[in-house]
Structure 1
């Protein structure tokens, strides 16, 4: 594959600021393109996003998008992965103390994740991009499993004899998280504090009441 020049225009005192040429490392350039793609897929439907316009917005040659991501669908899959990628475990503070405090911390983490990506997160998790695509669904399913594992860990219940059942319940709870995210981010019918209360109350009820009933310990 021919080499691509990872450069934008660096202004001289008389240059137009829109024309900049600056050398970036490949990882930086890829991250720049991905960031612009995240914005564009959040602003408009999948079919209305063009790689030519994306290249213009990112300030790169169109060939660099193909170089780093392949075609438009491959780029969208990269956006989906970025939207549902969880923070590294060592970057998360697993809460200690009473269960309500753990629930509160878990919900805060979930809403921070949603709020960081806004409408793009809502569209991606709601399958509003390229529809019923098996690769998108696989990425989302893997993300749901990882998020359930993380929530169970934050509840301090990873070693429960019925942890698999609890993870299944948390995956069901994930559907409410996605719906609440839409009400907050897209519709504006609920604010973050109201969504936090809804999700906290529901998660606490799931763990203290629903979980014992499902596993037969209540």
Structure 2
């Protein structure tokens, strides 16, 4: 007896069916522009009635937003599975994970981060911004700075900037062929290590020095004022 392993022709649980529809949408939106993909196309690819697309995702745009979200958002499991070890080990593993994911889903990932003809849509921009913050949280956990409070805004700004660098560098590899994977890995690893080991500590040191100097200056001013009044 043959076993039908095609999920499009088997009865699936709701979560599995939703995931299967989403996987088909990821492939289609990765291969064609937003305007060239219809919910009918997705339903045909998934082997389901078009009504199921609306049931699980709503409109075509809502489905597309979910595709972008799943392509650009770092899942919690990625951080949970990082190996124990020193900073360099965890940074190396984090960069390796990122490059594995973007290369495995090359077309869909590139379509998501560039957003194609939906690049100026406010909802797409919101999804990309939310993903940027999730990615920053994940990197901070990976490098052991999730609970850092000193110069927190500056730290998050640097990590978000690093996320932009990671995307641009991956595009230089996958889209333009200007860099190979080893070069991208080296660039991203060295940059993140430099931020954590040199740049952030320098910013913290400068902030503390400025604070100490300001406090001292304030104290001296106050003492001078008191002394002046006493003399008068």
Q: Once the 2 structures are TM-superposed, how far is the Cα of residue 213 of structure 1 from its aligned partner?
A: 3.4
Instruction: For 1:184-199, list aligned pairs within 5 A.
Output: 184-199=173-188
Distance 1:41 1:102, change over 3 A: same
Question: For the residues of structure 1 that align with 2:78 and 2:172, how far apart are their CA atoms?
Answer: 31
Report the aligned-residue RMSD. 2.7
Distance 1:120 1:129, change over 3 A: farther
CA deviation string 1:121-167 (max 9, x = no partner): 12212232512122211121111111111111111122322343212
* Alignment check: 8 A CA contact 1:40 1:49 kept: yes
SS at match of 2:98: helix
* Alignment check: 8 A CA contact 2:71 2:108 kept: yes
Runs of 5+ in structure 1 lacking a partner? Answer: 1-10
Is 1:119 aligned to 2:107, yes or no? Answer: yes
Distance 1:27 1:129, change over 3 A: farther
Aligned residue for 1:145? 133
Question: For the residues of structure 1 that align with 2:59 and 2:80, how far apart are their CA atoms?
Answer: 34
Q: How many residues are treated as equivalent by the alignment?
A: 204
Q: 1:174 aligns with which of 163, 169, 172?
A: 163
Aligned residue for 2:192? 203
From the two aligned structures, give the one with the greater helix fraction: 2
Is 1:214 aligned to 2:203, yes or no? Answer: yes
SS at match of 1:187: coil
Question: For the residues of structure 2 that align with 1:156 and 1:137, how far apart are their CA atoms?
Answer: 29
Aligned residue for 1:51? 39
Distance 1:45 1:201, change over 3 A: same
Question: For the residues of structure 1 that align with 2:27 and 2:120, how far apart are their CA atoms?
Answer: 22
Question: For the residues of structure 1 that align with 2:130 and 2:113, how far apart are their CA atoms?
Answer: 12
Instruction: For 1:72-91, list aligned pairs within 5 A.
Output: 72-89=60-77
Distance 1:56 1:128, change over 3 A: same
Runs of 5+ in structure 2 lacking a partner? Answer: 210-232
Q: When the two structures are superposed, what TM-score results if normalisation uses the length of structure 1?
A: 0.82
* Alignment check: 8 A CA contact 2:94 2:142 kept: yes
Distance 1:176 1:91, change over 3 A: closer
* Alignment check: 8 A CA contact 1:85 1:143 kept: yes
* Alignment check: 8 A CA contact 1:169 1:206 kept: yes
